[in-house]
Each structure stands twice: as structure tokens, then as C-alpha cells.
Amino acid sequence: MDLKDYYSRIFEKLERGFEFSHYVLAYGNDVRLRDIAHGHAPRDESALMVTVEPREQLWDLAVNWGLEVFIPIVGHNNHALLSTLDYEIYLDDATRLYADKGSQWHYFHNYIGPVTAFIAGKLEEFKIPYLTDMTPSGGHFLFWVLPGTKEWQKLAQIGFLEDDLKTAYEYDDPTDLKRNPKVTLEAGYVYSGLGRLWEYISRLAQQEVTTGSKELPLTLSDPEHKCVNLDLTQYGDPAFMRIMRAPFSAHKKRIRFISGAAPLVDVPIWHYDGSRKIGEMDFGHLIDCMWDVEKALEHSRQFSGHIPRANQNLVGLIEEYERSALFQYHREMDQTSDLARQESFARAKENGPLNDKTRGMLEHPNPRALDPRSLIKFIEDLKENGWQTKHIGNLIADLYEQPEHGWNCNWLKYPSRTRGNFWARIYGFGE
């Protein structure tokens, strides 16, 4: 059985992940060949091979072309939001992770397993439904949140939107499937609230999770050369720009590190409906399934493919977060007034005690102002010199807004102040 045959046999389960979606994003080298087959001009071979298509094209994208397929975070017409946490092994040399089943088992047994068990336990403590899906480098926790529910309303209350982000959400582009129809401000607040809730859970994991060795620290958004990355970066962007690889999808990242390597597939670990839990966390078995589509197909028989919907028990977890020091820190940052554009930069240039690395970042921020390792040191130095977290976020945004640095980013689709605030908030917490 090859990948395309696997897709054809598992298609109904794959499709159920898109129950609220009106489009699908697909990735893979065959996107270029598909364009040509459909009569379109060939793409630049150096371009990222992605395509955004109506959901009705899912069969063609998956079964006929064997592409990776991704679910939009925002459901059609704002009917749902996909709550996601992506966590993974990050290695500067990822070949070690993808080389063979034995190396994968080492990293999953010692690192991914304890993180998975902790997060699942936290959600189950409150009886919150979820699906956790294992990828070749880590896993995803997934559940839908629906409008009109208590949990939707509570998430909206804890969210925050910068003025530029509000403008981005209010823009309706009839030619862009991602923004037609536009994302409502209410959905934007809910998405922001989800990011803060996952940050709370991730920080709890950092405090509580112990692993089989000290080889890899547990970090937020890969600031180390080797780490278990609780990746919150998607919450530094608008919801309409974010997607998540679908459960049961092919996973082709391995070929980036091992020439000619066959794709692997994502496989479910657990499905929890608030009372009953289906699945297993036997990494020997799960890795076998990931490498063998026949075994993956057999493993999938116990799962329907549905991603669970959150219930009002999520409110209890949100209320626990609201009693935390992290919530107070978030609120203080939200309530701090912004400085005028480029005022933070002017203040930083005049701030005598800043160290040489910080001053180097001010002069040459690209790409360091996008790199977590550099940003942590930058933020720490500014905090030691009395800067408020919000104004550090303003400063990072000021750097993004200076065109002379040649940023390869559309700051209208990815608002600079939202991205700057995200980095400052994540790495500015604590002493």
C-alpha cells in the first residue's frame, strides 16, 4: 500500500477534521506538478510549495497528489475555532530525530511522553475533551471551540487585540479564501484567549514535567539549540493566517534532512470525550504505524476522525488561569499604554546602560529580532534597565517597521505590534 492508497482508505476520517472548514491548505513538491497538470504556469522551484483550495479539493490534494493537508484554524464564517498546541523535539541537526525508529523512540519515550501525559492529565482534570495526534517530531492537542457557548465567551474575555490586529481582522478580501468572509473581532479575542490559556498550561508543564534525562530542556518556542519546544508562536499572528496539519495527514518534513526519504504519517494517540478515553501511548507501536501506512490504517480503526468540541468545563481551567500570577502579568501588560511609533526606538538609542549585544540588535535587527535566542537576551537586558514589557514589545515592533532592514514579511497580514508584543510577553515573564 502506498501513501495515496492509504489516503483513499482513510479519507472519511481525514475529511472529518475539516467539518467546519471551507478551504484546505496543502504542501509538498507535487504542488508544482499539480499546477502544471491543471494548466497553470509552473512555479519557481525555489518557492514554498503550498496551495490554498476550496475544501471540495481535499480528495484531489490528498489521494491524487499525496500532499500534506492542513486545517484552517478559523471555521467557515466564524462557526468554530480550532484550539491547538503544537509541541515537538527541536534539534539543530534534525537528522538524528528522523534517521530511524530507534532514535525516534529515544526522544519520544524520554521527552514527548512526559509532556503528552502532563497536558492530557491537565485537560482530563477538568474533563475537557481533546484529540492528541502524534507527529514524527512531537504532537498536537486539538479541540474545537464553538461560538455562543460559555467557554467561547470566557475565552473572549481574557483575550487582547492590538489596534493594528483589529484592522487586520476587519479587512475582507473576496479573493482570499483565508479572509472571505473576514474573521470577526469576537473570534479574534477568543483566539488570543486560547493562546494565553495554552501559555499557562505550557508554563505549568515547564514547572512540573520531569523527563528521562537532562539532554533537552522544556522551552517556549524553541529558544535553545536542543529542546522540547512548546510552540506558542502561532498565537503571535492573526487567526486567519494559521493552519494545523490534519490528523492522519502525510508528514514530509523528513525529506528536508534526509535526501530521498519517504514521508511518514501522523497517527492519533488519544481521543477523550470528557469521560471515555480511546487510544494508547505505546511509542514502539505508534512509531511503527508512522513508518508503515498499513499499520497506520489498522491503528486508525479505533478513531472516528472527529476532533472533539470543548465543553463548558473549559471555563474552570480558564478561571484557574485567572487566579495565577501569569494572568496578572498579562493584564498589566494589556493595560499599559503604547508609546507612539518609533518612540521606543528613540528611547533605546538614548538608553546609555544597554549592553553591546542589545545595541547591535538595534542597528542590525534582521534576522535577530525574529530569533528567540537573540530576543531572550535582548528582552532581559531591557528589563534589567527598567523597561516595561509593553514598551519592549513596542520596540521590537519599531524595528519591524523600519523598511531599511529588508524584512521579508507582510506586516499587514502579520501585524508588527502583535508580533512584538508576543515576543515581549512570552520572554518577559518572571524575574
pLDDT of residue 42: 63
Sketch the domain layout of the chain as residue ranges: 3-68, 73-243+254-318, 337-427
pLDDT of residue 258: 82
pTM, two decimal places: 0.96
> Using CA atoms, how far apart are residues 310 and 303, in angstroms rounded to an integer?
18
Question: How long is the chain?
Answer: 431
pLDDT of residue 46: 57
> Using CA atoms, how far apart are residues 53 and 35, in angstroms rounded to an integer?
12
Coil/strand/helix, residue 311? coil
Examine the pLDDT at 431 and tell me if it is beyond 70.
no
Coil/strand/helix, residue 49? coil
Q: Which residues make Cβ contacts (< 8 Å) with residue 17, sequence separation at least 6?
A: 71, 246, 247, 248, 305, 306, 307
Diameter of the chain measured on Cα atoms: 66
Examine the pLDDT at 41 and tell me if it is beyond 90.
no
pLDDT of residue 212: 60
Lowest mean pLDDT among 61-70, 256-265, 288-297: 256-265
Cis amide bond preceding 181, omega within 30: yes
* pLDDT cut 70: percent of the chain above it: 97
Residue 145 bridge partners (DSSP): 81
> Using CA atoms, how far apart are residues 22 and 14, in angstroms rounded to an integer?
15
Q: How far is CA 78 from the centre of its chain?
A: 19
pLDDT of residue 412: 85
Q: Any idea of the CA torsion for 191, 179, 85, 365, to the nearest 10 degrees?
A: -90
Average pLDDT over residues 142-168: 98
Residue 180 carries which DSSP code? S
Is the CB of residue 133 less than 8 Å from the CB of residue 14? no
- For 371, other C-beta atoms within 10 Å of its C-beta total 16
As given in the structure block, the three cell numbers for residue 228 are: 522540547
Residue 234 carries which DSSP code? G
Q: Any idea of the CA torsion for 291, 292, 297, 302, to the nearest 10 degrees?
A: -60
Is the CB of residue 394 less than 8 Å from the CB of residue 415? no
CA-based angle 59:283:115, to the nearest 5? 95
pLDDT band at 47 (very low <50, low <70, confident <90, very high): low
Q: Considering the chain, what is the average pLDDT of its residues? A: 94
pLDDT of residue 116: 98
pLDDT band at 124 (very low <50, low <70, confident <90, very high): very high
pLDDT band at 213 (very low <50, low <70, confident <90, very high): low
pLDDT of residue 248: 98
pLDDT band at 32 (very low <50, low <70, confident <90, very high): confident
E strand spans, 50-153: 50-54, 68-72, 81-91, 130-134, 138-145
pLDDT band at 142 (very low <50, low <70, confident <90, very high): very high
pLDDT digits (tens, 9 = 90+) for 331-384: 999 999 999 999 999 999 998 899 999 999 999 999 999 999 999 999 999 999
> Using CA atoms, how far apart are residues 61 and 69, in angstroms rounded to an integer?
8
